[in-house]
A and B are shown apart, each in its own frame.
Chain A
Amino acid sequence: NAGVTQTPKFQVLKTGQSMTLQCAQDMNHNSMYWYRQDPGMGLRLIYYSASEGTTDKGEVPNGYNVSRLNKREFSLRLESAAPSQTSVYFCASRATGGYSPLHFGNGTRLTVT
């Protein structure tokens, strides 16, 4: 099983450029999440989707948009990238019901110059 797959693995953008980070999971999970990880800041939630057709803001949503394309896919879009968005981005998924854990992808390392 592939689990959670993120593309691309690396990306360099110039300030003001836009891009979409892709995420897909093959575990039939209902909930999907986008986090960013910065040195000394741990994991911060950007947006999440509790189920297909719904999305909600996390701790740090400004500058981002998301789309839950279907049950498998959850994309994160930067409309106008800023240097403050330089980070490592992780997608994760989990089954709803009970207290099921998150399963993470391997991340996208984004640099904005």
Chain B
Amino acid sequence: GQQLNQSPQSMFIQEGEDVSMNCTSSSIFNTWLWYKQEPGEGPVLLIALYKAGELTSNGRLTAQFGITRKDSFLNISASIPSDVGIYFCAGIIQGAQKLVFGQGTRLTINP
């Protein structure tokens, strides 16, 4: 089945640094989604991307839908302590009922 390779698996950064993570696949996706999960909670949608080449921002977060439709990245600028959590990418193939998830990137921030 389809797989998403998400990297890095974990990041340890200083407060104020920028963060970048990405997902790649051998399959073409029609939608890319980025979620954040905080301890004890379910994943929450951050950004949805629906068009190849699309660049979308949500505050300090910016995500892009790769032009080949096989990859996506998420950037966080000027990280703050509340950015701590696990970030997941997910892809949807045209007509599919199921989403494919990456393995997650665990972000830890040192104040």
Give the residue of B92, B101, B102 whose beta carbon is less than 8 angstroms from that of A99: B92
- The chain B residues found within 8 Å of chain A, CB to CB, are 1, 30-31, 33, 35, 40-45, 48, 50, 88, 90, 92, 94, 97-99, 101-104
Q: Interface SS of chain B: helix, strand, loop or mixed?
A: loop
- Give the distance to chain B from A30, nearest Cβ to Cβ, in Å: 10
A103 and B40 within 8 A (CB): no
- Which residues on B sit within 8 Å (CB–CB) of A12? none
- A106 in complex: contacting residue of B42, B90, B98, B102, CB < 8 Å: B42
Indicate if A40 sits at the interface (CB-CB under 8 A). yes
Complex contacts, A31 vs chain B, CB 8 Å: 97
> Which residues in A have their C-beta under 8 angstroms from that of B90?
101-102
Contact B104 A42 (CB under 8 A): yes
Q: Is the CB of A103 within 8 A of B45?
A: yes
Asked whether, in the complex, the Cβ of B44 is within 8 Å of the Cβ of A43, the reply is: no
**Is A43 touching B88 in the complex (CB atoms < 8 A)?**
yes
Contacts of B33 in A (CB 8 A): 101-102
Near B by CB (< 8 A), chain A positions 14-58 give 31, 33, 40-43, 45, 48, 50, 56, 58
Give bound CA distance, A42 to B97, whole Å. 19
**14 interchain pairs (CB within 8 A)?**
A4-B42, A33-B98, A42-B88, A43-B88, A43-B101, A59-B1, A92-B42, A99-B31, A101-B45, A101-B48, A104-B35, A104-B44, A106-B41, A107-B41
A106–B40 Cα distance when bound, in Å, is 7
In the complex with contacts A40-B103, A42-B104, A106-B41, A48-B97 CB distance below 8 A: yes
**Cross-chain contact A104 with B43 (CB below 8 angstroms):** yes
Q: Which residues of chain B come closer than 8 Å to A56, judged between CB atoms?
A: 97
Measured CB to CB, the nearest residue on chain A to B45 is A101
Q: Which residues between 83 and 113 of chain A lie within 8 Å of chain B, taking CB atoms? A: 90, 92, 96, 99, 101-107
- Is the CB–CB distance between A104 and B42 below 8 Å? yes
Closest CB in chain B relative to A17 CB, distance in Å: 24
- CB-nearest residue of chain A relative to B9? A40
Q: Known contacts A40-B103, A50-B97; is A105 also within 8 Å of B42 by CB?
A: yes
